[in-house]
Amino acid sequence: MCAVTLLLPVMLLAHQASVCGGACVEVESDTEAVVGKGFKLGCISCKRRGEVKAEAEVSWSFQASGDSDFSELYYYENTAGEVIDPRFYDRLDWNGSKSTRDLQDGSIYILNVTFNDTGVYKCNFNRLLKYSNHDYFTNTTKTILLTVVPQVTRGMASILSEVMMYVSIIGLQLWLVVEMIYCYRKISAAGEEALRESAAEYLAIASESKENCADAQVAE
């Protein structure tokens, strides 16, 4: 029982890792970039029916801070992408899925971020699902409001998330220590009980042997 209790957290973590490893998870993009650094604009649109064949294309548009309209930024289809906005020439590259059969990650990566990159980015996923008797078109749009700062800043949510992570790790370690102590005491108590039973059984056999010898002597 103790061994099963100690192995349970490890088994759960392994199961979660195996499940997450092959699944598509729509994680939201970061929204704060540091000037002069690289930055990933994340855009994930999971295909809900894995057994259905599909074709997808991704297009990005950008509205700079102070502009009233969006301009075409980037287009990707069939393992090839094109930077459309001249402000991002030689500074932008594809950072998403490579497969043409299951395009789900449409992220892009900006090199050498500038303050002029501040603004609103839109990621459009156009997907054509190919069923046996018909095709079905879907469109998903994700909007990212990007802020460019001179240096890394940490928000309260990030700090609280890190604190909770360390609290969870410490709590799990304490729980494992308590379980180990409990199991050790239980095993020790069982061992002592077995020794006492063995000693009592030995004394009973010895006493019976003495009585048998005494009866034999009287009979003689």
Based on the fold, state whether residues 147 and 158 are members of the same structural domain. Answer: no
Total number of domains constituting the chain: 2
pLDDT at 217 over 50: yes
Based on the fold, state whether residues 144 and 214 are members of the same structural domain. Answer: no
Based on the fold, state whether residues 169 and 142 are members of the same structural domain. Answer: no
For 14-73, how does the pLDDT look when each residue is reduced to its tens digit (9 = 90+)? 444 333 445 778 888 888 999 999 999 999 988 777 778 888 899 999 999 989 999 999
Q: Is residue 20 part of a domain?
A: no
Question: pLDDT confidence of 4, banded at 50, 70, 90?
Answer: very low
- Give the SS3 label for residue 217: helix
Higher pLDDT, 200 or 18: 200
**CA 64 remoteness from chain centre:** 33
Q: In a 10 Å sphere around its CB, with 0-12 CB exposed, 13-18 middle and 19+ buried, how is residue 195 labelled?
A: exposed
Based on the fold, state whether residues 115 and 219 are members of the same structural domain. Answer: no
**Integer Cα distance of 164 and 141 in angstroms:** 32
Average pLDDT score over residue span 149-155: 75
Contact of 138 with 129, CB cutoff 8 Å: yes
Q: Which domain holds residue 160?
A: 154-220
What's the pLDDT at 211?
62
Based on the fold, state whether residues 148 and 200 are members of the same structural domain. Answer: no
Task: For the chain, give the percent of residues with pLDDT over 70.
Answer: 76
